[in-house]
Homo-oligomer: A and B are copies of this chain.
């Protein structure tokens, strides 16, 4: 009986530590009173947890800014330089790395373009290595390097970080987490945990944790790239499905009279609204960018206008389907859809009107809070998860980012 109570008190302490650190990491600086109100713990418990986290350097207390009557209360801040992660986004034509500190502060950024046709797993690992070296070199000395998060446009096994299928990269069964971990081991003699996730799932997480959808328990994030990914948050939690492959909205067949998709089926949503379809519908050549389409529409070119309206119609139709299926509070349009949507807002709204009245009334459409960086920030969140779940232990086991 005694040991049971003890275990419970220990669990409770860990639980309080986790809640408080997560609040600071996600919501930013707060006074002790804020933390008392947020956690429902009493003042002395909050004080003890803050002291514990300050002792290991994860938080610091500084005098609050003016604007308040009476003496300024202390503000507890997450220390960005205490613990860092490398967040990577691998795309068909471009890869990006961020160095992100505790609290979500972006400390460094590096981007590299590559050819669509020539980007196998080995090349990707080389790119990751070079991007990682660069952003780490710009990081704070002595920061604990607590994780690496990588997003890919494909289906990922959450258990082992294996990319099952990334059709637009031409990848099948790539043990990406293992490959990157080996590469880090080779270079640094040590590796933090490496997590790999689907781009849209990670974008959804960032929008849910830090974005405009932070209060929405049911959110869909669409990542428009060459393909269309879907990150789906249900009752505040990522929907993974049986094997972590849920949310493949790009392969929802929506036009059986349409064109064949890389996945083998005919009429997948991404054949109608993927980046290639957008460029083609506007009458531009295959190597044009979506930004060129936007320019053409804004310049009043008729072919581009007609084309983009057709895209908008398919976009709205698919969004109506998702609204009927998931009844979300918000659909966030990421990737190139972020550029397309402002051009076709009316068409989309009209098509979404075909969703059932009850779901239509409840859903809003938004652009990402982080422009093009939602996926990267989601990768960072995934990489921070281990630290947030067990800060003292993970910090103790971590190597330094810059030796």
Question: Which A residues form the contact surface with B (CB < 8 A)?
Answer: 155, 157, 164-165, 216-218, 230, 234-235, 237, 239-249, 251-257, 263-266, 317, 320-321, 324-329, 354-359, 362-363
Whether B241 contacts A327 by the Cβ 8 Å rule is yes
15 contacts between A and B (CB under 8 A): A218-B242, A234-B234, A241-B359, A242-B363, A243-B327, A246-B327, A247-B325, A249-B324, A251-B355, A253-B320, A253-B354, A256-B317, A263-B354, A263-B356, A325-B325
Q: Which interface residue of A249, A253, A263, A264 has the most chain B CB atoms within 10 A?
A: A253
Q: A164-B358, A218-B242 are in contact. List 10 more A-B contacts (CB 8 A).
A: A157-B358, A218-B241, A218-B246, A234-B239, A234-B241, A243-B327, A248-B324, A248-B327, A248-B356, A257-B257
Bound CA–CA A384/B124 (angstroms): 55
| In the complex, chain B residues whose CB is within 8 Å of the CB of A257 | 256-257
Bound CA–CA A243/B321 (angstroms): 16
| In the complex, chain B residues whose CB is within 8 Å of the CB of A266 | 354
Whether A245 contacts B354 by the Cβ 8 Å rule is no
| In the complex, chain B residues whose CB is within 8 Å of the CB of A243 | 327, 358-359, 362
Whether A327 contacts B359 by the Cβ 8 Å rule is no
Bound CA–CA A165/B265 (angstroms): 33
Q: Is the interface of A mostly helix, strand, loop or mixed?
A: loop
A167: nearest residue on chain B (CB-CB)? Answer: B356
Whether A354 contacts B324 by the Cβ 8 Å rule is no
A313: nearest residue on chain B (CB-CB)? Answer: B256
Select A265's contact among B157, B320, B327, B363, beta carbons within 8 Å: B320
Within the complex, what minimum Cβ distance (angstroms) separates A246 from chain B?
4
Bound CA–CA A264/B255 (angstroms): 18
| In the complex, chain B residues whose CB is within 8 Å of the CB of A164 | 357-358
| In the complex, chain B residues whose CB is within 8 Å of the CB of A253 | 254, 317, 320-321, 354
Within the complex, what minimum Cβ distance (angstroms) separates A1 from chain B?
10
| In the complex, chain B residues whose CB is within 8 Å of the CB of A218 | 241-242, 246
Q: Which interface residue of A218, A242, A243, A363 has the most chain B CB atoms within 10 A?
A: A242
CB contact under 8 A between A327 and B244, given known A237-B235, A358-B155: yes
Bound CA–CA A321/B242 (angstroms): 15
Whether B356 contacts A246 by the Cβ 8 Å rule is no
| In the complex, chain B residues whose CB is within 8 Å of the CB of A245 | 327, 356, 358-359, 362
Q: Which interface residue of A243, A317, A321 has the most chain B CB atoms within 10 A?
A: A321
A353: nearest residue on chain B (CB-CB)? Answer: B264
